[in-house]
Amino acid sequence: MSQEVRDCLIIGGGVAGCTAGIYAKRYSLDVAVIDSLGGGGGNTAMASLVENYPGFPGGISGVELAERVKQQALEIDVEIITATARGIEAEGGVWRISDGADFSALTYTVILATGAYPRSLRVPGEIDYRGKGVSYCATCDGFFYRGRTVAVIGGGNAALDEALYLSNLAEKVYVVHRRDELRAEKYMQDKAFAAPNIEFVWDTVVEKISGNAEMDGLQLRNVKTDELSDLPVDGVFVAIGHIAKTEWLEGLLDMEDGFVITDSHMQTNQPGIFACGDIRVTPLRQISTAVGDATLAAHAAYQYVAQRRGAVETAPAQTAASEKRRAV
């Protein structure tokens, strides 16, 4: 007996993946979300408080926001399959997704939404003080450090972007870098050097993050002299890069530094495979941008399935009707 081919399978059950599922369902696609944790996770769930996502004055916890998006998907009958996708292979004009063991499914389209995670310093205290002074996103958490003293770890574009953003909020920003020169582009360096409240700590790495209920300082080590020193700060922003969850996709998709390359419609180099959110090459990784990506990916998947079926490229009746209402 031949296996049923679904219209769309989404890999990743965070906010991006569940949003893609919601929109795919509204396009009347036979869709399911595959997630190792059963959905409601991703980087959003790691945020103690999300204050920059529209519609939630006063903020909302990351766990609650991720769970709400998951529940919204379940309410419209988006199936969530608990499994870990480990392979995608072309098979007879469709794609087979498998976990390398018991789970296997066929689909016309795939939307990748497995996300990325920030590189860790891997020093004592980092895990203990996550959400209590240790952050990986100035846009997300910088607001909490208005008028305070913070440190940014790193020397690339991302680190200086964080430092410049924080310089408009914090009283003092230290940039701690393991070398004596920056890797960031010159225009970023010029801006950072010109900021009166940014100070650079060269040839230095973090050895330990200390504190009580919340972090209150860093233990630093000079890589040239091995001298140890303490730097009192109220918060630290780790900006040494992200790692995309794409190692299992190597050889299948075009990537840049491990991140999936897409066009403006979230299409990858493989027909019928799309990517959205933090997994793809993007200048900004925010919940709002991930949601926008997911919306575009679902629409592109709908159009791809419609073409495969030989259908006219028009939106489903419910979507067309809503567009008409908005026009009126």
Catalytic residue, candidates 7, 141, 161, 293? 141
Q: How far apart are CA 225 and CA 135, in angstroms?
A: 28
- Torsion angle in degrees (nearest 10) through CA of 278, 284, 285, 290: -70
* DSSP letters for 57-103: TT-B-HHHHHHHHHHHHHHTT-EEEE----EEEEETTEEEEE-SSS-
Q: How far apart are CA 107 and CA 98, in angstroms?
A: 11
Q: Does the annotation count 140 as an active-site position?
A: yes
Catalytic residue, candidates 18, 140, 234, 293? 140
Catalytic residue, candidates 7, 137, 276, 293? 137
Give all strands of the β-sheet with 204-211 in edge-to-edge order.
204-211, 215-222, 228-232
Longest CA–CA span in the chain (Å) reads 71
Q: Does the annotation count 141 as an active-site position?
A: yes
User: Is there a contact between 214 and 233 (Cβ–Cβ < 8 Å)?
Assistant: no
Residue 195 corresponds to which amino acid? A
Q: Does the annotation count 137 as an active-site position?
A: yes
SS (H, E, C) 103-168: CEEEEEEEEECCCEEECCCCCCCCCCCECCCEECCHHHHHHHHCCCEEEEECCCHHHHHHHHHHHC
Residues involved in catalysis: 137, 140-141
